[in-house]
Amino acid sequence: MRTTGKENEIKAKIIICYVSVTILLLSNCSKNNNDIYDDKYYPNIINLDIVRTMGEDNKYEGDFILVNPDVNRMVVDKSGNIILADELFIKVYDKFGKGLKILGGKGEGPGRYLETPRIFMSPMGYLTALHEENDLLNRLTIYDSDFNLVNDLRLINRKIYQDLSDKYQFTMGKNVMYTNNICALNESEFIYDIAYYTKNNAWFLLIYDNGDSAHVIYHGKAPDVQKTSYAVSGNASLGMVAWDLLNNNKLFYITSEEDTFLNDDYGEFTLHIISLDTYEDKIIKHEFDPMLFPPDLIKHRLDGISVTSKGYQSLKLHYAELEKMYSERKYWGFKGARTDGNYIFIYPRMKYAEIWAIKETQNQTILAFDVETEKFLPPFTLNRLYRKIYNGYIYDDHDDENGWPQIQVYKLDDELLGIK
């Protein structure tokens, strides 16, 4: 039967409407897994207000002047004193930014540095400065809670360290890659990690060295530095390992090697709370939203490189092996973790855009765990990634409009942590 023009017009509108609804439904059903945190938490983005700024107008004098402060080389003690490794000094300020004490200076003797040290603070109040002028873990300088120098040593000279080196087959200057964190519990006891590689894998050791013996808290793959057979251009970052000390002689660790995934919409990570008195391991599992590796992660890595250039074939094989690693792994692990007293803050991956570098302007969802109640708090999202949390305050570095370096201090709302 022949249809009229009017009937055809009506049919066309029905088809367009049907197709539009179908596309909408399909787009909702095949929701992009990258944006899952956007939908869940982004409507409640929290913008933190600055409560004070260190270095405004650079009013400091002498060695207290902020030259190149970096919050990655900053700690805060329980009194709120801010300790910065800046130049060849460790600079101590009170919580309001008033200069209190200068430690260190150029030199090779105890408490002296040839380059800016990395510093760590334990809940016991001991400050550890890690020197790396010649090699990883070359020297440690320990200060007590009053910032008096109480020890200066080389871990690699201790028999405990040498025994570990023999057992796990790592050698400083050969196959040791890094130490992320080291904390002094007192003048002679330490918690530290060592990442090293063997022929086929990279490994991570977390060690409690009590001065008489070593207790290995964790030994497993180091997912952030897995090597390929043709590692001519770095390592495969397949995840993270993070740990830190807590109050009450405890520590936590988390590794993406223990992540499990039911499907693209459900994953679980494992949090370990370790007692340093009994070595009891309290295991907490928690749901998180998986983040898929992007399909074109390696695709354009060879763009612009001539096939006749030196090392091209090795580079091609390297990227092919990387692509296989990512394909088998399938999901990103978490991005990082921090502690503040009895709280553990876990930073999940948010978007593909953060694959190769942390973009501080992006929103960051935080999963907070209260160690005392053994419960996760409702997740919250901050307007950017803030790198240090101490005593309920967040710290970040910044240059003012004239280029002067500053440390900005923000208050983390107590309500976010369930404190009333």
As a whole number, the mean pLDDT across the chain is 80
Q: Look at 64 and 45; give whichever has higher pLDDT.
A: 64
Please check whether residue 142 is in contact with residue 184, taking contact to mean a CB–CB distance below 8 angstroms.
yes
pLDDT confidence tier of residue 197, bands split at 50, 70 and 90: confident
Mean pLDDT of the region 354-371: 68
Q: Which burial class, exposed, middle or buried, applies to 318 when counting CB atoms under 10 A from its CB (0-12, 13-18, 19+)?
A: buried
What percent of the chain has a predicted confidence (pLDDT) above 70?
80
pLDDT confidence tier of residue 135, bands split at 50, 70 and 90: low
Its pTM stands at: 0.82
Instruction: Lowest mean pLDDT of 35-49, 314-328, 350-364, name the range.
Output: 350-364
Range picked from 143-152, 178-187, 314-323, 387-396 for highest mean pLDDT: 143-152
Pick the CATH number of 33-293+330-417 from 3.40.50.11030, 3.90.1200.10, 2.60.40.10, 2.120.10.30: 2.120.10.30
Instruction: Lowest mean pLDDT of 31-40, 66-75, 298-307, name the range.
Output: 31-40
pLDDT of residue 413: 79
Q: Look at 329 and 5; give whichever has higher pLDDT.
A: 329
Of 223, 338, 344, nearest in space to 284 by CA: 344
For 3, 126, 211, 288, 413, the CA distances from 119, given in Å and listed in that order, are 82, 10, 21, 32, 27
For 183, 229, 338, 385, 387, the CA distances from 347, given in Å and listed in that order, are 22, 31, 8, 9, 11
Dump pLDDT digits (tens) for 286-295. 998 888 877 7
pLDDT confidence tier of residue 233, bands split at 50, 70 and 90: very low
pLDDT over 50 (residue 127) = yes
pLDDT of residue 355: 43
| Cα–Cα distance for residue pair 263/274, rounded to 1 Å | 30
pLDDT confidence tier of residue 401, bands split at 50, 70 and 90: confident
